[in-house]
Amino acid sequence: MSVPTVRLGELIELSGREKVGARDIPIMSITMRDGLIDQAERFKKRIASSEISGYKYVAFNELVVGFPIDEGVLGFQRRYPGAAVSPAYDVWRILDPDRVDISYLERYLRSPQAISAYQARMRGAVSRRRVLTKDDFREIQVPMPPVQGQRHIAAILDSADALRAKRREVIAKLDELLQSVFVEMFGDPARNPKGWPQKPLSELAKVQTGGTPPSSAAGVFDGPIPFVTPGDLGGVVAESRRTVTSDGALLSRIAAAGSTLVCCIGATIGKMGLVTRESAFNQQINSVTWHDQVDPVYGYHAMRFLGDEIAHQGASTTLPILNKGKFEKLAIMAPAKGDQEAFGRMAAAIARQCNASARQEAQLEQLFLSLQQKFFISEGQSCAAN
């Protein structure tokens, strides 16, 4: 049986005209992965209520659309009777709740199929800003099986998503275990209760600030050498989104395998990665290539405890930045090399478990995408939920 599609504008209408005013209500923000979440959970704090009087009021079960929309930055408000969202967001309400299952509609609007539809309609806009007009948003076609079929699809996708979340939780717990092992072996770096020598990075490593080859230069990108940017950081860096040629690497900086890369400029200041192969990196990143007295795995995990300090030191300017001179003065504990290597062996064992979980997560991700492809289909195709 074919599945009809309907215009999104037949299902929702613009809302959000009401302001928060003096109400003391939760503030919510949009995230790419999790949709609409409580701001206190995202930023570990909330803005004082006196500062949000001009924010938009979003009622229970209303849709909040952020930007960039072509990354699925949207979600329904399903936690509170009322909440506040940024005035930059659009708020929509369901016209007929008996016609639409909200979980189904949110799943569709965040799916690759919907994102492709957004991108197709944004081609006539300023592409860099990824703008989708409200009228074009209303024209998005939504596959609409009967509401019972919508609920069935949403339940299946919710179950598959829960499996993905459990894999991510396992990986996070393994990372917490590794940090606990570090503290057990060496003590809390903030207090150094075991009295290890503490030395600045300038004594323990070669520190470099990266660079980006000029885009006007020919033959510098799309080569065999990883070109690491802040978006690639956050754990072991085995590959990167961009690459450079050997000529491009000469116009950047090269970090040896085993180096720790640290973002020292911008919103992700303090984010780190451990490169497993020789890599180039951009100007937002400092590389720490360890001398012989530091085991690279130990050095990376010791540096991770400095993430908050790096962010704090760099927060004194409008654009967060920690220059190379200050960065090199940061100190880490320097226990005996044998102790560092013992930790490295423990880290390797835990990393094997993390890698296994990551492979399972990737398989579940593929399953989830396959289910979306199966369910979010248009007129003329069969629907398993009917």
- Choosing from 294, 313, 334, the residue where a domain stops is 334
**CA-closest candidate to residue 345, choices 381, 305, 301, 313:** 301
Q: How much is the pLDDT for 386?
A: 43
What's the pLDDT score for residue 378?
55
Give a yes or no: residue 339 inside a domain. Answer: no
- Which pLDDT belongs to residue 43? 52
What pLDDT digit, counting tens, does each position of 199-255 carry? 999 999 999 999 999 988 899 999 999 999 998 999 999 999 999 999 999 999 999
The answer to whether position 185 is within a domain reads no
Domain that holds residue 82: 5-144
Task: Judge whether 166 lies within some domain.
Answer: no
How far from the centroid of its chain's Cα atoms is residue 93's Cα? 28
Task: Sort 300 into a burial class: Cβ within 10 Å, 0-12 / 13-18 / 19+.
Answer: buried
My answer on whether 9 and 140 are in the same domain is: yes
Choosing from 119, 144, 169, the residue where a domain stops is 144
Cis peptide before 68 (omega within 30 of 0): yes
Token pair for 166: 């459990």
Residue from 221, 210, 213, 225 nearest 266 by CA: 210
Query: Whole-angstrom Cα distance, residue 219 to residue 71?
Result: 30
Query: Does some domain include residue 178?
Result: no
Tell me if 26 sits within 8 A of 80, measured CB to CB. yes
Nearest CA among 113, 109, 68 for reference residue 92: 109
Report residues of the chain scoring pLDDT below 50.
1, 47-50, 125-128, 379-386
Residues 10 and 76 in one domain: yes
How many domains does one find in the chain? Answer: 2
Predicted confidence (pLDDT) per residue in 57-103, tens digit: 999 999 999 887 887 889 999 999 999 998 989 999 999 999 999 99
> Residue 35's pLDDT is what?
80
Residue recorded with tokens 């998005």? 140
Determine, yes or no, domain membership for 358. no
Angle between helices 112-121 and 102-109 (to 10 degrees): 60
Q: Which of 343, 327, 326, 323 is nearest to 335 (CA)?
A: 343
